[in-house]
Amino acid sequence: MANAREKIIDRAAQEIEDGMNVNLGIGMPTMIADRIPSSKHVFLHSENGLLGIGPYPEAGEEDADLINAGKETVTAKKGASFIDNAESFAMIRGGHVDLAILGGMEVSEQGDLANWMIPGKMVKGMGGAMDIVQGARKLVIIMTHVNKQGDSKVRSACDLPLTGSKVVDRLITDMAVFDFTDEGMVLKEILDGSDVESVREKTEADFTVDKSLLQKEGSN
């Protein structure tokens, strides 16, 4: 599982381009911050009101007033902005977040996302996820390809309550990268250790394979 998470995080970090405003969801997405090269000028956004999140603080240097949306202590980069919650969400709803990378529990072949609750488990609420999935210019979801029982989390239809319908632009798992287009779900990349056949075996959703990937597979 640790290797799978590392593979996902490393691939997801490649989605971040110079000059972007980026929102990283709680959990695994927050770990992407440490994978962003120092050469890239990126502002990390937290919906609780900080634009310009820096690296995690060293032990003993934590500031309880500087936290991200996951209640973790963080630092602020030079040039960071502190804004109230309403203005932070106005930034999201106004389309000023270039990229959001969130964790997922299930993603459907239509690009539906379920990531905020499991029925029967106590949760405080959806948080900012509903706004983020609608407002971000590009939404990337990261998750393991199967759950602990070995069942596919990439499904024909989500069983869990939806966070958003047809909102996912790209899905990155420990096996593959998928894009969601007008023509449907498309397998774009195979991550190390996988192949098209093994991805099909572990994927409940229906998808097509990108032509360039088919050519690459055929030449191997």
123 Cα distance to chain centroid: 20
Spatial separation of the C-alpha atoms in residues 43 and 18, rounded to whole Å: 9
Total domains in the chain come to: 1
The pTM of the full predicted model, rounded to 2 decimals, is 0.94
135's enclosing H/E stretch is helix 129-135
Q: Residue 133 is which amino acid?
A: V
Q: Which domain holds residue 167?
A: 2-219
Two tokens, residue 129 = 């996820």
Two tokens, residue 6 = 């590392």
Residue that has been written with the tokens 């995080």 in this structure: 9
Question: For the residues of 68-89, what is the DSSP string, one character each?
Answer: -TTS-B--EEEEEEE--HHHHH
The answer to whether 129 touches 104, Cβ cutoff 8 Å, is no
Which CATH number do you get for residue 193?
3.40.1080.10
pLDDT tens profile 85-111 = 899 999 999 999 999 999 999 999 999
Spatial separation of the C-alpha atoms in residues 123 and 118, rounded to whole Å: 9
Two tokens, residue 39 = 């050469």
Which among 15, 17, 47, 87 is annotated as catalytic? 47
The answer to whether 29 touches 102, Cβ cutoff 8 Å, is yes
Rg (CA), the chain: 18
Catalytic residue flag (residue 47): yes
> pLDDT in tens for each of the 220 residues of the chain?
668 999 999 999 999 999 999 999 988 998 998 899 888 999 999 998 999 998 889 999 999 999 987 788 999 999 999 999 899 999 999 999 999 999 999 999 999 999 998 777 877 777 789 999 999 999 999 999 999 999 999 999 999 999 999 999 999 999 999 999 999 999 999 998 899 999 999 999 999 999 988 877 665 5
Residue that has been written with the tokens 């990531």 in this structure: 115
